[in-house]
Amino acid sequence: MIRLAKEGEEAEVVEISQGVNMELDSNGNLIGVELFKASRIFKSVLKPMEKKLQVA
């Protein structure tokens, strides 16, 4: 899981896609994003990076 957040108290969580949640404060402001199974979501990005790192 990857979690990106800023200061604030979570009042609501909205699932915008399977495994992707937005965390909102009591005013409806975005304070966090959670990505579950992030390696699956970014698989197409991570594989080429992995190969480049092995060569270096």
Q: What is the DSSP string of the chain?
A: -EEEE-SS---EEEEEETTEEEEE-TTS-EEEEEETTHHHHTHHHHHHHHHHHHH-
Can you give the pLDDT at residue 28?
94
Q: Is the pLDDT of residue 56 over 70?
A: no
Q: How confident is the model at residue 22 (pLDDT cuts 50, 70, 90)?
A: very high
Give me the mean pLDDT over the 44-49 stretch: 79
Can you give the pLDDT at residue 5?
82
